[in-house]
């Protein structure tokens, strides 16, 4: 079974500062993907960043970067220069990467508030 744990129910950060959201996971698969999704109050689930487990280099997307520690099964998200529009629920998710028909397994989420 695959599981995803987000241990921080809520976090807050001042505008322009940096914040790190934590995620740990468990899987017996050797090939898998990890994702961070953002869900603002509009409810639309938006992909922020993804990481393929076989790649050692940490993924980056503009102000968003991850710290992927495969041995520790840890996948944290760092948001630099936080903006008010970053206020949202953030979900960490895991999926196998073999074949099609793969489902996403989500954590319970972290509510991030960016304060002006």
Partner 1 sequence: DAGVTQSPTHLIKTRGQQVTLRCSPKSGHDTVSWYQQALGQGPQFIFQYYEEEERQRGNFPDRFSGHQFPNYSSELNVNALLLGDSALYLCASSFRGRVNEQFFGPGTRLTVL
**Site residues for partner 1 per CB under 8 A:** 4, 33, 37, 42-47, 50, 52, 91, 93, 95-97, 99-109
Output 16 or 45, the one with its CB closest to partner 1: 45
Output 11 or 80, the one with its CB closest to partner 1: 11
CB of 81 to partner 1, least distance (A): 26
**Backbone Cα Rg of the chain:** 14
Question: Residue 54 has what DSSP assignment?
Answer: T
Output 88 or 105, the one with its CB closest to partner 1: 105
Tell me whether strands 19-21 and 64-69 are parallel, antiparallel or unpaired.
unpaired
With the C-alpha atoms ordered 43, 45, 49, 50, is the resulting torsion angle positive or negative? positive
């Amino acid at each position: 079974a695959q599981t995803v744990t987000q241990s921080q129910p809520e976090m807050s950060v001042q505008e322009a500062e940096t914040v790190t959201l934590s995620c740990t996971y468990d899987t017996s698969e050797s090939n898998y993907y990890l994702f961070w999704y953002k869900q603002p109050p509009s409810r639309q689930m938006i992909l922020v960043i993804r990481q393929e487990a076989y790649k050692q280099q940490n993924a980056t997307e503009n102000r968003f970067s991850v710290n992927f520690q495969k041995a520790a099964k840890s996948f944290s998200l760092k948001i630099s220069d936080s903006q008010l529009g970053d206020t949202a629920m953030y979900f960490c998710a895991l999926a196998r990467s073999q074949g099609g028909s793969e489902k996403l397994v989500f954590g319970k989420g972290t509510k991030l508030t960016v304060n002006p």
